[in-house]
């Protein structure tokens, strides 16, 4: 009986340690998923997804280039995004810009951004795009 109690305690300890270890191992990948993968975002930006056109069709990401583009240049958007709508974070602004571009129209531009990204992009795609835009 005494031995059994001891081994139960041992077993319980082992279990707790396994839980702790797996908790530690899992958390970095979870937060990476929530933050988005900027490299994958850059790929989506350049290539689009399914029938949704690539963002690069309308947006430049390098400043100082001349010539016409349909959409505003996105160089420096990481800082500008924060200031666009008072009380809305850069992340939220960028999310809204992608899935509901008609809600806030950048001054000097027309409301002609492709409107259906929300039906073609998965949640992870949007997170990846936001992560990429925040590097610009
Ligand atoms: C058909 C052209 C077109 C495509 C494709 C397009 N956009 Fe746009 N985008 C625009 C236009 C025009 C505006 C300015 C009007 C507005 O605010 O809706 C804009 C605005 C934006 C803004 C706001 C910029 C600012 O200065 O506040 C962001 C961010 C943005 N687009 C990101 C994207 C991303 C990411 C994609 C790809 C998933 C994309 N756009 C695809 C035309 C486009």
Domain boundaries of the chain, sorted by first residue: 1-35, 36-133
pLDDT at 67: 83
What's the CA gap between 128 and 55, in Å, rounded? 13
pLDDT at 1: 53
pLDDT at 68: 85
Q: Please measure the distance between the N-terminal and C-terminal CA atoms of the chain and give it in whole angstroms.
A: 66
Instruction: Determine the distance separating the centroid of ligand 1 and the alpha carbon of 130, expressed in angstroms.
Output: 12
Class of CATH domain 36-133: mainly alpha
Which of the residue ranges 1-15, 30-44, 85-99 would you say has the lowest mean pLDDT? 1-15
Report the phi/psi class of residue 67: left, alpha or beta, with left for phi > 0 and alpha for psi in -120 to 50.
Answer: left
Q: Per-residue pLDDT for 41 more than 80?
A: yes
pLDDT at 36: 95
Query: Global pTM?
Result: 0.81
List pLDDT tens digits, range 46-104: 999 989 999 999 999 998 888 889 999 999 999 999 999 999 999 999 999 999 999 99
Instruction: Determine the distance separating the centroid of ligand 1 and the alpha carbon of 72, expressed in angstroms.
Output: 7
User: In terms of pLDDT, which residue wins out, 17 or 115?
Assistant: 115
Ligand 1, atom 6, residue with closest C-alpha: 55
Instruction: Determine the distance separating the centroid of ligand 1 and the alpha carbon of 91, expressed in angstroms.
Output: 15
Ligand 1, atom 37, residue with closest C-alpha: 55
Write down the residue that tokens 């839980």 correspond to.
Answer: 19
Q: Looking at residues 12-26, what average pLDDT do you find?
A: 50
Which of the residue ranges 3-12, 28-37, 74-83, 109-118 would you say has the lowest mean pLDDT? 3-12
> Would you say 128 and 44 are in contact if contact means Cβ atoms under 8 Å apart?
yes
Count Cα neighbours of 45 within 13 Å in the Cβ-side half-sphere: 21
Ligand 1, atom 24, residue with closest C-alpha: 72
């Amino acid at each position: 009986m005494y031995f059994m109690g001891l081994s139960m305690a041992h077993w319980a300890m082992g279990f707790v340690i396994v839980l702790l270890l797996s908790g530690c191992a899992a958390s970095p990948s979870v937060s990476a998923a929530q933050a988005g993968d900027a490299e994958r975002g850059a790929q989506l930006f350049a290539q689009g997804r399914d029938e949704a056109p690539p963002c690069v069709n309308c947006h430049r990401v390098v400043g100082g280039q001349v010539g016409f583009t349909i959409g505003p240049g996105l160089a420096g958007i990481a800082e500008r995004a924060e200031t666009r709508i008072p009380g809305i974070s850069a992340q939220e602004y960028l999310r809204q810009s992608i899935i509901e571009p008609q809600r806030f129209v950048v001054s000097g531009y027309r409301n002609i951004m492709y409107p259906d990204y929300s039906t073609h992009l998965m949640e992870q795609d949007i997170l990846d795009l936001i992560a990429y835009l925040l590097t610009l």
